[in-house]
Amino acid sequence: PMYTREMQELLASTVDDYDPEKVLNLDEDESTNFAVYADSTIIIEGGDSVNTVTLVDDENSTYVITNADETVTGLNAGDVFVYPYAEGEILIVKVADIELDGTVVTITGDELEMEEVFSHVKIESKSDPENIEVDDSNASEGVTYVGEADVNYFESSDDVSTQGVESGNTDGSTELIAKVFNIDFVDYGNENYKTTVTGSVGLKLKLSLKFHITKSLQRVEFKMNGGLQGELSVSGKISKNKVLSSINATIVPGVDCKFEVSFHISLTGKASFIFGFDLMGGFAFQHDANGFSFEKLYKTAEPIVKTEFSGTLYLALQFTPVVELLKGAVWRGEGRGRL
């Protein structure tokens, strides 16, 4: 699908190939990181005394505009509008409900998909590790985010080859700092076995994103570079998926890539082990006339494990991405990428 004529035209295009009134350029690069408003998207204009935004409540999807002109008062449920109301601030809203009180307009927003706003999107960039944030509000019971640390669980394991895993960076760049999670829980869910899991894991990440939308195809390529290390003690029988956190990475100003990171452990027996592997994985999520599809772009390095245990052991990371543009339009990948 990346070789279709429509997609190749997008990949070769710049902002100069589109109507300048419909182009949203997200940085100074004119060859990429831009979006083009769809013909159906209503573009609102304002001024010093017209269409003044007095309330932006994204959490409740409520927006108030005073001194509204007919471009705002004439909006109807189902309309999608964009309004660059201040320097660096843009409302992108699908109208669910609109209330008029003279020239004061209260708009309630509806859930909005990316393709409802834009006919074309071309984003190709990497996230600065400093712009990767952890939200542990959805972490599983027994998982606690403790902050950033320069961890190396293998530092005393001279008999184990850990090149690449030690630093968590495989491209020769500056060493990454790990996001560290403590794990401590008891599980009684499998055939009345009592299973205990204790320890910690450190996740190091750099992210890159390629996100392309045309009129008939949406595709996101999500790649990561870094490492995962951990030290766990497990006894019993368990096959559990534990959510570590949600990660929010700003790719370019106005474009956030959010994804849930889950840690899956499957074990029968008793083990105390140190593990680590380089994250060089990538996924492509695609939506076209045939529906959603998923592709693993390339293989992650084999894990390195130093352990003493009896039984069987399986470890994996899972990712579910969401791309959000300017806190309004959203693209969601269906299913999970697993490493």
Give, for all 339 residues of the chain, the pLDDT tens digit: 566 788 899 999 999 999 999 999 988 899 999 999 999 999 999 877 899 999 999 889 999 999 999 999 999 999 999 999 888 788 999 999 999 999 999 999 998 888 889 999 999 988 777 788 888 888 888 899 999 887 776 554 443 333 333 333 434 334 578 888 898 988 776 556 677 888 888 888 888 888 898 988 888 887 877 777 888 888 877 777 778 888 888 887 778 887 778 877 777 777 777 877 776 767 787 877 777 777 777 655 555 566 555 555 565 666 666 777 766 666 655 444 454
* Other beta carbons within 10 Å of 247: 22
This prediction has a pTM of: 0.74
Q: Which is nearest to 73 in space by CA: 93, 112, 44?
A: 44
Pair 146, 166: CB distance under 8 Å: no
Pair 211, 323: CB distance under 8 Å: yes
Q: Would you list the DSSP string of 174-209?
A: SPPPEEEEEEEEEE-TTTT--EEEEEEEEEEEEEEE
- Please report where in the chains the tokens 């003493």 appear, as a residue: 308
